[in-house]
Chain A
Amino acid sequence: MGQYAIKRFLTIVPVLAGISLIVFSFIHLIPGDPAVTMLGERATPERVAEIRAQLGLDKPLSTQYAIYIGKILQGDLGASILRGDPVLRDLVRRFPATVELAISAILIAISVGVPMGIISAVWRNSLFDGVSRLIALAGVSMPIFWLGLMLAWFFGVVLGWLPTGFRLGTDVTLAPVTNFQVLDSLIAGNTTALASSLRHLVLPAVALSTIPMAVIARMTRASLLEVLSQDYIRTAESKGLPQRSVILRHAMRNALLPVMTVTGLQVGRLLAGAILTETIFSWPGIGLWIYESIQARDYPIVQGATLFIATIFVTVNLITDLLYATVDPRIRYD
Chain B
Amino acid sequence: MKHIIGPIILAVFALLLLTTPGIAQTTFIFGAQGEPVDLDPAIITDGISSRITRQIYEGLVKYKGDTTEVVPALAEKWTVSPDGTVWTFTLQKNVKFHDGTPFDAAAVVWNFERWRFSKGPQHENVLKIGKTFEYYGKQFGGFDEKSIISKVEAVNPTTVRITLNSPQGPFLNNLGMFVFDIASPTAVQKHGTAFSKNPVGTGPFKFVEWKVGQEVILEANKDYWDKANAPKVQRSVIRNIKDSSQRLAALKAGEIHGMEGLNPDDVKVVRNDPNLQVILRPTNTTGYLAFNYKVKEFTDKRVRQAVANAINRKAIVDALYGGTGMVASQFQPPSLWGYNKELKDHPFDPQRARDLLRDAGFPQGLKEITWEDGRKEPLQFWYMPVSRPYYPNPKEIAEAMAADLARVGITVQLQTTDWAVYLDKRKNGQLPLYMLGWTGDNGDPDNFVCYFFCQPGASTEAFYANQPLAETLLQAQKMTDQPRRAELYRKAEQMIQDDIARLFIANNQPPLAFRKNVRGYVANPTGSEFFNTVYFQ
Contact with A along B1-24 (1 / 0, CB 8 A): 000000000001001101111011
Interface residue B246 (Cβ < 8 Å from any Cβ of A): yes
Contact check, B19 vs A284: say whether CB atoms are below 8 A apart: no
Contact check, B12 vs A41: say whether CB atoms are below 8 A apart: no
Closest CB-CB distance, B435 to chain A, in whole Å? 12
Contact check, B242 vs A157: say whether CB atoms are below 8 A apart: no
Interface residue B215 (Cβ < 8 Å from any Cβ of A): yes
Which residues does chain A contribute within 8 Å of B240, judged by CB atoms? Answer: 282, 284
Considering the chains assembled together, what is the distance between the CA atoms of A199 and B19 in angstroms?
A: 9
Contact check, A171 vs B23: say whether CB atoms are below 8 A apart: yes
Question: What is the interface of chain A mostly: helix, strand, loop, or mixed?
Answer: helix
Given known pairs A36-B423, A37-B418, A164-B246, the reply for A191 and B241 (CB within 8 Å) is: no
Interface residue B50 (Cβ < 8 Å from any Cβ of A): no
Interface residues of B in 123-164 (CB under 8 A from A): 129-132, 134, 138
Considering the chains assembled together, what is the distance between the CA atoms of A162 and B214 in angstroms?
A: 18
Contact check, B15 vs A194: say whether CB atoms are below 8 A apart: yes
Which residues does chain B contribute within 8 Å of A81, judged by CB atoms? Answer: 130
Considering the chains assembled together, what is the distance between the CA atoms of A292 and B214 in angstroms?
A: 12
Set B19, B45, B241: member contacting A195, Cβ < 8 A: B19
Closest CB-CB distance, B487 to chain A, in whole Å? 29
Interface residue A165 (Cβ < 8 Å from any Cβ of B): yes
Considering the chains assembled together, what is the distance between the CA atoms of A42 and B439 in angstroms?
A: 11
**Chain B minimum-CB-distance residue to A192:** B19
Which residues does chain A contribute within 8 Å of B129, judged by CB atoms? Answer: 84
Considering the chains assembled together, what is the distance between the CA atoms of A179 and B24 in angstroms?
A: 26
Contact with B along A144-182 (1 / 0, CB 8 A): 000001001100110011111111011110000000000
Set B214, B255, B418: member contacting A31, Cβ < 8 A: B418
Closest CB-CB distance, B59 to chain A, in whole Å? 21
Considering the chains assembled together, what is the distance between the CA atoms of A165 and B19 in angstroms?
A: 16
Identify the stretch in B27-35, B89-97, B111-119, B312-320 within 8 Å (CB) of chain A at 4 or more residues: B27-35
Considering the chains assembled together, what is the distance between the CA atoms of A281 and B215 in angstroms?
A: 14
Closest CB-CB distance, B64 to chain A, in whole Å? 26
Interface residue A43 (Cβ < 8 Å from any Cβ of B): yes
Contact check, B242 vs A164: say whether CB atoms are below 8 A apart: no
Closest CB-CB distance, A123 to chain B, in whole Å? 23
Given known pairs A32-B418, A164-B253, A170-B29, the reply for A282 and B242 (CB within 8 Å) is: yes
Considering the chains assembled together, what is the distance between the CA atoms of A326 and B329 in angstroms?
A: 75
Contact check, A292 vs B34: say whether CB atoms are below 8 A apart: yes
Interface residue A93 (Cβ < 8 Å from any Cβ of B): yes
Interface residue A33 (Cβ < 8 Å from any Cβ of B): yes
Considering the chains assembled together, what is the distance between the CA atoms of A44 and B246 in angstroms?
A: 35
Interface residue A40 (Cβ < 8 Å from any Cβ of B): yes
Contact check, B419 vs A280: say whether CB atoms are below 8 A apart: no
Interface residue A289 (Cβ < 8 Å from any Cβ of B): yes
Considering the chains assembled together, what is the distance between the CA atoms of A34 and B424 in angstroms?
A: 11
Interface residue A83 (Cβ < 8 Å from any Cβ of B): yes
Interface residues of A in 199-227 (CB under 8 A from B): 199, 202
Name the residue in B138, B212, B253, B424 with the highest tally of chain A Cβ atoms < 10 Å from its Cβ.
B253
Interface residues of B in 406-430 (CB under 8 A from A): 417-421, 423-424
Given known pairs A83-B38, A157-B249, the reply for A284 and B213 (CB within 8 Å) is: yes
Interface residue A100 (Cβ < 8 Å from any Cβ of B): no
Interface residue B211 (Cβ < 8 Å from any Cβ of A): yes
Interface residues of A in 54-112 (CB under 8 A from B): 54, 79, 81-84, 90, 93-94, 97
Contact check, A156 vs B249: say whether CB atoms are below 8 A apart: yes
Set A191, A291, A292: member contacting B15, Cβ < 8 A: A191
Interface residue A47 (Cβ < 8 Å from any Cβ of B): yes
Considering the chains assembled together, what is the distance between the CA atoms of A13 and B138 in angstroms?
A: 48
Interface residue A30 (Cβ < 8 Å from any Cβ of B): yes
Which residues does chain B contribute within 8 Å of A157, judged by CB atoms? Answer: 249, 252-253
Contact check, A292 vs B245: say whether CB atoms are below 8 A apart: no
Which residues does chain A contribute within 8 Å of B249, judged by CB atoms? Answer: 149, 152-153, 156-157, 164-165
**Chain B minimum-CB-distance residue to A276:** B243
Contact check, B237 vs A170: say whether CB atoms are below 8 A apart: yes
Which residues does chain A contribute within 8 Å of B131, judged by CB atoms? Answer: 84
Closest CB-CB distance, A101 to chain B, in whole Å? 13
Closest CB-CB distance, B416 to chain A, in whole Å? 12
Contact check, B420 vs A292: say whether CB atoms are below 8 A apart: no
Considering the chains assembled together, what is the distance between the CA atoms of A202 and B250 in angstroms?
A: 16
Which residues does chain B contribute within 8 Å of A152, judged by CB atoms? Answer: 246, 249
Interface residue A255 (Cβ < 8 Å from any Cβ of B): no
Interface residue A198 (Cβ < 8 Å from any Cβ of B): yes
**Chain A minimum-CB-distance residue to B209:** A173
Closest CB-CB distance, A164 to chain B, in whole Å? 5
Interface residue B62 (Cβ < 8 Å from any Cβ of A): no
Contact check, A31 vs B213: say whether CB atoms are below 8 A apart: no
Considering the chains assembled together, what is the distance between the CA atoms of A288 and B423 in angstroms?
A: 27
Closest CB-CB distance, A158 to chain B, in whole Å? 9
Contact check, A289 vs B213: say whether CB atoms are below 8 A apart: yes
Set A36, A82, A192, A202: member contacting B420, Cβ < 8 A: A36
Set B24, B27, B214, B420: member contacting A34, Cβ < 8 A: B420
Contact check, A47 vs B134: say whether CB atoms are below 8 A apart: yes
Contact check, B213 vs A288: say whether CB atoms are below 8 A apart: yes
Given known pairs A54-B130, A171-B24, A291-B242, the reply for A166 and B214 (CB within 8 Å) is: yes
Closest CB-CB distance, A276 to chain B, in whole Å? 10
Given known pairs A37-B419, A284-B213, the reply for A149 and B255 (CB within 8 Å) is: no
Considering the chains assembled together, what is the distance between the CA atoms of A82 and B215 in angstroms?
A: 17
Interface residue A196 (Cβ < 8 Å from any Cβ of B): yes
Which residues does chain A contribute within 8 Å of B253, judged by CB atoms? Answer: 156-157, 160, 163-164
Which residues does chain A contribute within 8 Å of B252, judged by CB atoms? Answer: 157
Interface residue A279 (Cβ < 8 Å from any Cβ of B): yes
Which residues does chain B contribute within 8 Å of A192, judged by CB atoms? Answer: 19
Interface residue A50 (Cβ < 8 Å from any Cβ of B): yes
**Chain B minimum-CB-distance residue to A191:** B15
Given known pairs A33-B424, A47-B134, the reply for A280 and B246 (CB within 8 Å) is: yes
Name the residue in A36, A41, A194 with the highest tally of chain B Cβ atoms < 10 Å from its Cβ.
A41
Considering the chains assembled together, what is the distance between the CA atoms of A196 and B255 in angstroms?
A: 13
Contact check, B212 vs A90: say whether CB atoms are below 8 A apart: yes
**Chain B minimum-CB-distance residue to A167:** B214
Interface residue B310 (Cβ < 8 Å from any Cβ of A): no
Which residues does chain A contribute within 8 Å of B420, judged by CB atoms? Answer: 30-34, 36-37
Contact check, A169 vs B16: say whether CB atoms are below 8 A apart: no
Closest CB-CB distance, A305 to chain B, in whole Å? 13
Interface residue B98 (Cβ < 8 Å from any Cβ of A): no
Which residues does chain B contribute within 8 Å of A82, judged by CB atoms? Answer: 37
Which residues does chain B contribute within 8 Å of A162, judged by CB atoms? Answer: 16
Interface residue B206 (Cβ < 8 Å from any Cβ of A): no
Given known pairs A157-B249, A164-B253, the reply for A202 and B16 (CB within 8 Å) is: yes
Interface residues of A in 284-310 (CB under 8 A from B): 284-285, 288-289, 291-292
Considering the chains assembled together, what is the distance between the CA atoms of A149 and B243 in angstroms?
A: 10
Considering the chains assembled together, what is the distance between the CA atoms of A26 and B81 in angstroms?
A: 55
Which residues does chain B contribute within 8 Å of A292, judged by CB atoms? Answer: 34-35, 242
Contact check, B130 vs A170: say whether CB atoms are below 8 A apart: no
Q: List 21 A-B contacts (CB under 8 A).
A: A31-B417, A32-B421, A43-B423, A44-B138, A79-B130, A149-B249, A156-B249, A160-B20, A160-B253, A162-B16, A164-B249, A169-B21, A170-B29, A170-B217, A191-B15, A192-B19, A198-B16, A199-B19, A202-B16, A282-B214, A292-B242
Given contacts A169-B21, A170-B239, A171-B21, 5 further A-B contacts (CB under 8 A): A32-B420, A33-B424, A41-B436, A152-B249, A160-B253
